[in-house]
Amino acid sequence: MRQNPERRAALLDAAIEVLAREGSRGLTLRAVDAEAGVPTGTASNYFANRAQLLVQILHRTRERLTPDPADLTGALDTKVLLTRLLERMRRERSVHIAMLELRLEGIRRPELQAELAEFQGAELEANVAWHLDAGLPGDRQGVVLLYLAMLGLIVDDLTVPALLEPYPPADLIETMAERLLGARNPG
């Protein structure tokens, strides 16, 4: 297997775009090569098979969706952080849609389902721990509920945005933070 990290990242980014645009059925090593603009067969030098590619896409999504440390400095406010999260998801739309596709593919592939469960479980635990360690309002269960509520908001915002037109996301985020965590608007 090839080890050029920049080429691997470019292939994974191309795979994310293919997965988001074409869905799981359209994700082939040849399609990744075409999207990345590399010679046919290049992706197969980096990924032994499609299953390995799917797992590595999962891990690449984390790299791309991790917030910039600058977004986590200064006075922390739950509503501001959630608004930044939604903005980041909108900027990285294809990454999040690819993640949704991976979840759907996990239904059909038990090995991917196991990887997803472990990966998502670790992500959720890290988010809960970060929230509580940062001294933000709410308890463990409230943070989990907020995670689930934001996931629903993000999925609808990405897939059927017209559904949310009567409900401004800023208002929804404020209400979620207040009701689930007891976070009140400062001032």
pLDDT, tens digit (0-9, with 9 covering 90-100), for 56-70: 999 999 999 888 887
| pLDDT 10s digits, 158-168 | 999 999 999 99
Give me the amino acid identity at 26.
Answer: G
- Contact criterion met (CB below 8 Å) for 176 and 150: yes
Residue-level length of the chain: 187
The span from the CA of 58 to the CA of 79, in Å, is 27
Q: Kindly state the DSSP code that residue 22 receives in the 8-state scheme.
A: H
- Contact criterion met (CB below 8 Å) for 129 and 147: no
Q: What is the pLDDT of residue 68?
A: 81
Is the backbone of residue 172 left (phi > 0), alpha (psi -120 to 50) or beta? alpha
Q: How many CA atoms lie within 13 A of 96 on its CB side?
A: 21
Is pLDDT above 50 for 187? no
Q: What is the pLDDT of residue 2?
A: 63
Closest CA to 65 of 102, 36, 90: 90
| pLDDT 10s digits, 30-57 | 999 999 999 999 999 999 999 999 999 9
Is pLDDT above 70 for 81? yes
Higher pLDDT, 6 or 76: 6
The runs of H, that is alpha helices, within 109-139 are 110-133
Does an H or E element contain 158, and which?
A: helix 140-159
- The residues, any chain, with a CB within 8 Å of residue 118's CB and separated by 6 or more, are none
0.85 exceeded by pTM: yes
Buried b / exposed e over 159-179, threshold 16 CB at 10 Å, is: eeeeeeeeeebeebbbebbee
Is pLDDT above 70 for 1? no
The span from the CA of 60 to the CA of 52, in Å, is 12
